[in-house]
């Protein structure tokens, strides 16, 4: 087995150095089969993953070493391929890793390398997002696979603000590690109002349709966590062939602030103002023909007048270590 570590060059220097030292300290039989490669430009992680997957096939594990953006790129590269994807969470959010690793591994991600020769490889699902313009034309640049969570509304505004905070303080771990909570508070102190129409297909086959819905946010979840530890879908499973869709009604600033902690801890399920759907597919459409929906998948922005989602079962091989 070959071990390919694709490293986001924008991660903190201390984390890069730690990974390099951990790989250098591997037993010689593992070290000689390990290779670290660094990204050089946007989407380079996806390109590298395709290259090594075509070269080694099922005889390599390709690690995403960074945050959720790096994982997003590599998941899109490895969808329906034989090469398993591994995760070493070295980025800012690291939310997908919260769903697959126990806390002791999540907090000390380089411990994963101590179990390199004992991977647990299994197929898991992917979420597919397809965006369309107001004329119904498909928009390829904003249509992707999503490994973790896609969302629209208030949380997308929070995510965009968090990115700006990190970009403004690129060398500060304090700001990088707290970008999401800082952004959430600043955004909640502002204002928001969103409207949409939707059609959601449940796992039972029932279809629920509503128009002119005023909402704060909607999250479409394969994984459990996003946004720096928020838990919109505490019951989500990566391999059950279904998605947890959480729709949050429009709330006043005061109510939103009071409910924020419940939403973060996954204690919102069943509470007034929160609706959860166990779903296989659905469509969200902008209520205003002049406005696009703005969303993000795995933290990467997308836009569309109409957004369709669906679960794609067993679409990627995941390698975990413990």
Q: What percent of the chain has pLDDT over 70?
A: 97
Average pLDDT, the chain: 92
* Residues 139 and 220 grouped into a single domain: yes
Start-to-end CA span in the chain (Å): 18
Sign of the CA dihedral running 61, 312, 89, 99: negative
Higher-confidence residue of 174 and 207: namely: 207
Does residue 214 belong to any structural domain of this protein? yes
What's the domain range around 262? 127-314
Does residue 320 belong to any structural domain of this protein? no
Structure tokens, 123: 């197929």
* Residues 111 and 132 grouped into a single domain: no
* Residues 306 and 208 grouped into a single domain: yes
Tell me the pLDDT band of 37, cut-offs 50, 70 and 90.
very high
Does residue 322 belong to any structural domain of this protein? no
Domain total in the chain: 2
C-alpha–C-alpha distance, residues 132 and 240, integer Å: 27
Nearest Cα to Cα of residue 244 among 216, 279, 206, 209 = 279
pLDDT in tens, 207-260: 999 999 999 899 999 999 998 889 999 999 999 999 999 999 998 878 887 888
The residue out of 94, 118, 142 marking a domain boundary is: 118
* Residues 293 and 199 grouped into a single domain: yes
Higher-confidence residue of 158 and 53: namely: 53
* Residues 169 and 270 grouped into a single domain: yes
* Mean pLDDT for the stretch of residues 86-107: 89
Out of 83-97, 170-184, 221-235, pick the least confident.
170-184
Q: Which pLDDT score, from 0 to 100, does residue 173 have?
A: 63
Q: What is the CATH number of the domain that holds 221?
A: 2.60.200.40
* Residues 100 and 206 grouped into a single domain: no
Q: Is the pLDDT of residue 116 over 80?
A: yes
* Residues 260 and 174 grouped into a single domain: yes
Q: Is the pLDDT of residue 176 over 80?
A: no
Q: Is the pLDDT of residue 78 over 80?
A: yes
Torsion of CA 307, 152, 196, 202, to 10 degrees: 70
Tell me the pLDDT band of 291, cut-offs 50, 70 and 90.
confident
How remote is the C-alpha of 192 from its chain's centroid?
A: 23
3-state secondary structure of 22: helix
Higher-confidence residue of 176 and 280: namely: 280
Q: Which pLDDT score, from 0 to 100, does residue 180 have?
A: 72
The residue out of 118, 151, 169 marking a domain boundary is: 118
Q: Which pLDDT score, from 0 to 100, does residue 152 have?
A: 94
Does residue 32 belong to any structural domain of this protein? yes
Q: Which pLDDT score, from 0 to 100, does residue 129 have?
A: 98
The residue out of 118, 151, 173 marking a domain boundary is: 118
Q: What percent of the chain has pLDDT over 90?
A: 74
* Residues 170 and 305 grouped into a single domain: yes
């Amino acid at each position: 087995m070959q071990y390919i570590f694709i490293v986001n060059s924008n991660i903190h220097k201390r984390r890069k150095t730690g990974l390099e030292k951990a790989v250098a300290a591997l037993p010689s039989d593992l070290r000689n089969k390990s290779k670290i490669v660094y990204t050089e430009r946007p989407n380079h992680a996806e390109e590298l993953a395709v290259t090594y997957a075509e070269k080694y096939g099922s005889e390599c594990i390709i690690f995403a070493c960074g945050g959720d953006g790096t994982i997003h790129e590599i998941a899109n590269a490895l969808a329906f391929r034989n090469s398993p994807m591994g995760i070493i969470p070295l980025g800012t959010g690291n939310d997908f890793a919260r769903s697959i690793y126990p806390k002791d591994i999540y907090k000390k991600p380089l411990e994963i390398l101590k179990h390199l020769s004992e991977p647990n490889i299994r197929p898991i699902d992917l979420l597919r997002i397809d965006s369309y313009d107001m004329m119904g034309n498909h928009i390829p640049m904003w249509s992707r696979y999503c490994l973790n969570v896609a969302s629209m509304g208030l949380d997308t505004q929070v995510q965009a603000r968090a990115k700006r905070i990190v970009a403004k303080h690129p060398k500060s771990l304090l700001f990088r590690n707290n970008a999401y909570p800082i952004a959430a508070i600043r955004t909640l102190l502002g204002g928001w109002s969103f409207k949409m129409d939707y059609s959601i297909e449940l796992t039972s086959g029932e279809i629920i349709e509503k128009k002119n819905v005023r909402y704060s946010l909607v999250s479409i979840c394969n994984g459990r966590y996003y946004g720096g530890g928020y838990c919109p879908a505490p019951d989500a499973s990566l391999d059950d062939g279904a998605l947890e869709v959480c729709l949050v009604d429009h709330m006043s600033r005061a109510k939103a602030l009071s409910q924020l902690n419940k939403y973060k801890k996954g204690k919102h399920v069943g509470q007034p103002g929160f609706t959860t759907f166990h779903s296989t597919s659905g469509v969200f459409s902008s209520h205003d023909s002049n406005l696009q929906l703005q969303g993000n998948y795995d933290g990467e922005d997308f836009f569309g007048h109409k957004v369709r989602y669906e679960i794609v079962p067993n679409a990627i091989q995941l390698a975990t270590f413990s």
